[in-house]
Each structure stands twice: as structure tokens, then as C-alpha cells.
Amino acid sequence: MTAPRIEIDLDKIRDNTRWLVNRLAPRGISVTAVTKAVCGHPDIANAMLEGGAVGLADARITNVRRMRSAGITCPILMIRTPMLSQVEEVATICDASCNTETAVVTDLAKATLRRDSCHEIILMVEMGDKREGIMPEDLTDFALQVTRTPGARLHGIGANFACLADAAPTPEKMAALSSLADDTEAVCGPFIETVSGGSSANLSWALEDGPVGRINNLRIGEAILLGTDPVSGRPINGLHTDVFTLLAEVIETKIKSKPVPLKLSDPALSALSLMPRHHWITRSILAIGLQDTNPAGLVFPAAITLIGSTSDHIVVETTNCPLSIGSEVALQVNYSALVRAMAAPDVTKVVLRNKRQTDYAAAERNGRYPAFL
């Protein structure tokens, strides 16, 4: 099979989405699935929808275009504030967008009016992450202005945490966001439908028992795709952490230096020869590099150690188990390694679908039903 390639288990994407949807539903929180890390891959987007996501969100119009071209018709939210130069297309193919600038909202509204439709506006509030957001004290004025702009509809407010400044969402901050929803309603009149509380970084807060207040939506990418909590870096119990496998092919294996025998001060210990006689350290090259992924974000199999990488090569060391030319090494990815691999033209995306349906069909023929269905 072609290499490098990234194998994507769609069943696990669907499972992870379903697990989060089921856990958050009793808390009154819906899941908008974020597709930006996978460049809006339509099969992945569809698996997220099958898992119960109420809609999709992406940061780039190119990714949204890709999903629309593949026939995806669900609501799509633009989560990066739209470029002025792209408002026409955002108004055409996105149902809603996150906004922080009046000039953008004005132009979005004009573009929407020309199409005789309406664009939903979610106002992002700055809650400490210091990436995007209107300052809380300016929110009600801004919101009032949106309600007076024909073509724009104030759909909700939102916030983002722990992306730039490591400002993890505390219960106090989440309560403050809820109060802002109440304040905005008090001034603007219309009901604030959506209070989009954050991303995967908010899950440890959302999955606990504390009050959720007005928060009724989260925009989730990483937890669905990697099964991890971006704040702690740890796996979330109940989610698959092996949705993606990156495969790279070995193109060179050589002994580049012989091991140096240990020099011990005690001659009696030296005589014991602590190193096995055939303990060779071998270097191999994988045909993949910085252009294809973030090597520092890869997890290698136990016997393989990353030595370094250049644009097109990753050099690894193995102990006692030389990699044969043409064999493949399976790598696990973190978020940055995943993002780059999904965007790299030379990494083939291989979708594994309906693995369980196939198992199910076989089981049915044999008169047995697997426990997981």
C-alpha cells in the first residue's frame, strides 16, 4: 500500500462523538463537531454527524467548501472570525459564524441580504485566553448593534479557553459567561439561543456535576479525534485514543556507530560485560519528514527512538531489532502531528469504514451477534 499514509477509523470517530453527546445531553449541552484539524474531511465529518453532533464547525472556508461539495447539508459554523475578503462565501455556505468585529458583521449582513436570507451571529467574548473576543464590558453594546443590523441575527454568545494563554475554564469563568448571556438578553430583548461555552478544553468542567448555567453547547474537535483532554494532555476515559495511525516506510537501515563499551571504575564490574555481545544500535530512515507531519508530536513503537528529522527524513534508532527496508512503522499522532499530516498532500488518507458493520454481517451469517452492537 502507498506510504506515507494516515489510516482513519470512522467507527471510532462515531463512537467518540456518540460518547460525548450521550454524556453531555443530560447536562443540556449539545456538541458541535470541529473539523479543522482534519481539513474538513467529508467522511470524518459524516461520522461525527452519525455520532450525534448537532452541526459542524471549521476555521477555514476551503474546508467548508470541501464539505459542502461532498453533499454535507447540516448547519456549519465558521469558528474563526471571517476575513472581510471572504464574507460573501461565508454568508453563502455557512449558516453561522463567530464574530468580534462590527465591520465584518456589517458586511456579512449585506452579503446575506443580497441573497435574501439571514446569517446567524455568535459573538465571541474574551474570557482570559486573549485570542479572539469582544471585551465583556463591550458585549451588550455590540449585541444591540447586531440586533439592529438587517440580515444578521444574534444567535448567541461564545468563548474560547486554553488555546493561547493556557487560561483553563474555571467554574467561576463559566458562571461569568452565563451571566453575560443574561445581561445581553436584558439589554437586547431577544432570547440568546446558544451559549457556546468552549472546546475540548471545557470537558473536564462539563463532565463534572457542577452547575452548567446557561452553557448549552460546546465546539469539540480534539476529544473526538484523539480522545484526549488538551489541558492535561491525558486520555479521556471512555474515548478511543487510536482513531488515527500514521504509517511511514523504511528506506535505509545501517549501523552508523558501534556501541561504546561502558567504562566502569570497578574492574570487577567491567569484567562482567554489562552489554550483551550483539547489542547493536541501528539507525533507520523513514520516508516522511517535517513537510508531512510534526515529528515531535509522534509516538513511536517501544523499540524505536526518534533521533531527528529534516523536511523529508525522520531518523530513528532501534536496539536489537533492525527495521527491514520496505517495512512500515506505525506511529500515533498528537494534535499538531495530526493537523500537519491531514494537510500534507503526500500523506494519503485511508478511510477504514464500516469495520463493525462488516463484522456484524459476518456474525449474522453465523447466527451470532457481537456484544458491541
Ligand X SMILES: *Cc1c(COP(=O)(O)O)cnc(C)c1O
Binding site for ligand X (CB under 6 A): 34, 36, 59, 79, 160, 199-201, 219-223, 230
Query: From the CB of 60, what's the least distance to ligand X, in Å?
Result: 11
CB-wise, 225 or 315, nearer to ligand X?
225
Nearer to ligand X, 220 or 315 (CB): 220
State the nearest-atom distance from the C-beta of 79 to ligand X, in Å: 4
- What is the 3 state secondary structure string of the chain? CCCCEEEEEHHHHHHHHHHHHHHHHHHCCEEEEECHHHCCCHHHHHHHHHCCCCEEEECCHHHHHHHHHCCCCCCEEECCCCCHHHHHHHHHHCCEEEECCHHHHHHHHHHHHHCCCCEEEEEEECCCCCCCCECHHHHHHHHHHHHCCCCEEEEEEEECCCCCCCCCCCHHHHHHHHHHHHHHHHHHCCCCCEEECCCHHHHHHHCCCCCCCCCCEEEECHHHHHCECCCCCCECCCCCCCCEEEEEEEEEEECCCCCCCCCCCCHHHHHCCCCCCCCCEEEEEECCCCCCCCHHHEECCCCEEEEEECCCCEEEEEECCCCCCCCEEEEEECHHHHHHHHHCCCCEEEEECCHHHHHHHHHHHCCCCCCCC
CB 59 to ligand X: min, Å: 5
Q: How far is the CB of 288 from ligand X (least distance, A)?
A: 24
Shortest separation between residue 223's beta carbon and ligand X, angstroms = 6
**With respect to ligand X, which residue has the nearer C-beta, 202 or 309?**
202
User: Of 252, 248, 251, 250, whose CA–CA distance to 347 is shortest?
Assistant: 248
- C-beta closer to ligand X: residue 36 or 119: 36
Residue 32 or 318 with smaller CB distance to ligand X: 32
Closest to ligand X by CB, 109 vs 203, is: 203
**CA distances for 286 relative to 191, 256, 283, 305, 321, angstroms:** 56, 15, 10, 12, 15
Give the nearest residue (CB) to ligand X: 221
Q: Name the residue nearer to ligand X (CB basis): 4 or 221.
A: 221
Q: How far is the CB of 83 from ligand X (least distance, A)?
A: 15
The answer to whether 307 touches 229, Cβ cutoff 8 Å, is no
- Between 18 and 283, CB nearer to ligand X: 18
Least CB distance to ligand X at residue 310 (A): 29
Is the bond preceding 267 in cis, omega lying within 30 degrees of 0? no
- Least Å distance, CB 204 to ligand X, is 12
Q: How far is the CB of 220 from ligand X (least distance, A)?
A: 5
Min CB(161)–ligand X separation in Å: 9
What residues have CB less than 8 Å from 61, skipping those under 6 apart? 78, 82, 86, 89, 90, 93, 94
Q: Which CB atom, from 27 or from 110, has the smaller least distance to ligand X?
A: 27
Cβ-based nearer residue to ligand X, 30 or 319: 30
| Cα 134 to Cα 30: distance, rounded to the nearest angstrom | 24
